[in-house]
Amino acid sequence: MCGIIGYIGKRQSTPILIEGLKRLEYRGYDSAGIAVFHNGEIEIRRCKGKLRDLESLIKEEDLSGSVGIGHTRWATHGKPSEENAHPHKAGGVVVVHNGIIENYLDLKVMLMKEGHTFKSETDTEVISHLIERFIEKEDEIESAVRKALKELRGSYALAIIYEKEPGKLIAARKESPLIIGLGEEEFFLASDIPAILSHTRRVVFLGDNEIAVFSDKKMKIVSQDEKEVIREPKDIQWNPVMAEKGGYKHFMLKEIFEQPRSITDTIRGRIFQSEGKIFLDELNIPQKDLSKIKRIMMIACGTSFYASLVGKFLFEEFCRIPVEVDLGSEFRYRDPIIGKDNLSIFISQSGETADTLAALKEAKGKGSRVLSICNVLESSIARESDGTLYTHAGPEIGVASTKAFTTQLAALYILALYMAVETSKMNPQKVRNILEELIKIPHMVAEILNQEEKIERIAKKYFKSQNFLFLGRGINYPIALEGALKLKEISYIHAEGYPAGEMKHGPIALIDNEMPVVVLVSEGITYEKVLSNVEEVKARRGAVIAIANTSHKDIEKRVDDIFLIPRTLPLLNPILFTIPLQLFAYHIAVLRGTDVDQPRNLAKSVTVE
Ligand code: AGP
């Protein structure tokens, strides 16, 4: 986690750093700090708490200077405190860091023996001391940084300045994201794109084990083996307003309401409905290889894992290929059996989730072809993959994943259909029918969003409850899991997702008049069975909130509250069922007064194990 920012150029760096940190705050927000060259010295200001606390701290101060670095922290090593906040300084070396240095304790012991004194509990401080150690021998920051990096095990994105070389800024990365923004004789560093979008759209993605040095209005990128790297900048299409709240009270609400657009963007340009064709050249898989795939592995974390569970239904139904789904954090520790005829699909909004990335490397190492579904261009997972299907959700700032999830689902429909078409597993008329319904989904999502008030009313009735159950069946079971996760994350209410059929095997014991149960009721083969589950809850005085795609009297008379969603093909239901659950969690969180966009203890992108 953590967000880092840097600036070198002709403008005042402090406002640029603070503005960038505001956009990065979703990555961590337990402390923040900046370091600025001011009158030939490096001034560091940092404090525990949110960015606004740092802003108050520096409000009255003159921190003028055109070179600076900044950081917003999500604690891994050491509690949130001023001492543990970045930047960290040793000698004249000042560092901000995102990632984890795995061998920091060994290095710390070695450095302490040599006389270095540590002021924080962080792994990061080791980096500044290590560079200082080499500087004592080298007298030059660039080669000292290079030598220090060779000693580090783990992941890092770093921005470094050095008191004795005031016109220089150094950046380095390994397995943690870092981008370089190019301006007019000025350079920006940031953990992600929205942090610098108001200044430039021209971006260079720093590669793993590369170091970038900025001085004399120039940039030089060198690889670990000291070869100069020439990398073409990319033009980013996102505009800064896309990363702002756009009039909504929270990013999460804005992102929920963006879904008709984001789902359309993810589908658009990739399907030719009347022909039943799907275009996915970006996958880089020749047709002959697709037919050889005997098994699909799908791996992800959190909400993206629930998208994978939906994906299993789609690939098995459309392509008749067996699918196994696993969590990134479990996959690599169980010596998974993977063959060359396996396709491994990794799903990640950020493309930086450490467990998913590590699992990807594991699968790749075992010879599997690797595809990813990502939202962030050129993210680590995308770059490690043989092919990436980008979701076009745009930047997702709210910690709770909303539009990222539904665009992942949209991407999975397209991918599963594409494979079915390419391997002739599905009748072309059926493909056309599904595509015809798929392109209607964004309108149906908009229809649901127009009824936000109904959901808000239901939320008002239940927001004081301390526990919730979410029940779904078949392809909607992962949506019950997602509904429960959303509620947990942002309202801190205990919620469990269950396959409805499992209720009588345990969770039914929890039901009483204080346990509302959200039931996803879908037409289809399990409809009657889910209605029986509703009866079972009612018989135990539990309140039932039904999200249903049929207004049949059977349901209305049995449940306490009902929200109707439009009808579509049963396999396309997951996106539609998700929307009311997002709104439900959102309104409950607002009513409980929690920090919706930055819920406690969470960070947007989990870049550590
Ligand atoms: C979702 O609301 C969560 N914040 C979280 O579970 C998230 O989906 C998970 O950390 C995976 O992130 P990724 O999609 O960026 O890999």
Active site residue 292: no
Among candidate residues 48, 425, 486, 604, the one labeled active-site is 604
CB 605 less than 6 A from any atom of ligand 1: yes
Q: What's the token pair of residue 344?
A: 């491994």
- Of ligand 1's listed atoms, the one at least distance from the Cα of 408 is 14
- Of ligand 1's listed atoms, the one at least distance from the Cα of 356 is 16
94, 85, 103, 112: which is closest to 35 by C-alpha? 94
Residue closest via CA to ligand 1's atom 5 equals: 302
Predicted confidence (pLDDT) at residue 55 exceeds the cutoff of 70:
yes
CB 408 less than 6 A from any atom of ligand 1: no
Mean of pLDDT values over 51-55: 93
pLDDT category of residue 7 using cuts at 50, 70 and 90 = very high
Among 232-241, 336-345, 351-360, 540-549, the range scoring the smallest mean pLDDT is 232-241
CA–CA distance from 545 to each of 335, 493, 521, 531 (Å)? 42, 16, 10, 12
Among 160-169, 266-275, 450-459, 482-491, the range scoring the smallest mean pLDDT is 266-275
CB contact set of 241 (below 8 Å; sequence gap of 6+): none
Q: Which of 27-31, 47-51, 210-214 has the highest mean pLDDT?
A: 210-214
Q: For residues 158 and 140, is the Cβ–Cβ distance under 8 A?
A: no
For residue 501, the model assigns a pLDDT of 87
Can you give the pTM of this predicted structure?
A: 0.79
Among 120-129, 306-315, 504-513, the range scoring the smallest mean pLDDT is 504-513
CB 380 less than 6 A from any atom of ligand 1: no
Interatomic CA distance for residues 519 and 533, integer angstroms: 9
CB 353 less than 6 A from any atom of ligand 1: yes
Interatomic CA distance for residues 366 and 28, integer angstroms: 34
CB 606 less than 6 A from any atom of ligand 1: yes
Interatomic CA distance for residues 159 and 171, integer angstroms: 5
Q: What are phi and psi of 443, to 5 degrees?
A: -65, -40
Residue closest via CA to ligand 1's atom 10 equals: 302
How many angstroms does the Cα of residue 8 sit away from the middle of ligand 1? 33
Interatomic CA distance for residues 318 and 475, integer angstroms: 13
In single-letter form, the type of residue at position 460 comes to: K
The model's pLDDT over 253-263, given as tens digits with 9 standing for 90+, comes to 999 999 998 99
- Of ligand 1's listed atoms, the one at least distance from the Cα of 486 is 2
How many angstroms does the Cα of residue 550 sit away from the middle of ligand 1? 31
Active site residue 374: no
The count of residues in the chain is 609
Among candidate residues 2, 47, 301, 319, the one labeled active-site is 2
For residue 607, the model assigns a pLDDT of 78
CB 13 less than 6 A from any atom of ligand 1: no
For residue 377, the model assigns a pLDDT of 77
Q: What's the token pair of residue 356?
A: 């998913």
Mean of pLDDT values over 574-599: 97
CB 303 less than 6 A from any atom of ligand 1: yes
Instruction: Give the three-state DSSP class for 454.
Output: helix
Instruction: Give the three-state DSSP class for 591.
Output: helix
Rounded (10°) CA dihedral 29, 31, 37, 41? -170
CB 489 less than 6 A from any atom of ligand 1: yes
For residue 215, the model assigns a pLDDT of 96
Pocket test for ligand 1, best of 327, 350, 602 (most atoms within 8 A of CB): 350
Where on the phi/psi map is residue 40: left (φ > 0), alpha (ψ -120 to 50), or beta?
A: left
How many angstroms does the Cα of residue 116 sit away from the middle of ligand 1? 39
Peptide bond between residue 260 and the one before it cis (omega within 30 degrees of 0): no
More confident residue, 176 or 477: 477
Instruction: Give the three-state DSSP class for 426.
Output: coil
Query: Strand locations in 62-130, DSSP E?
Result: 67-73, 88-90, 93-101
DSSP state of 502: G
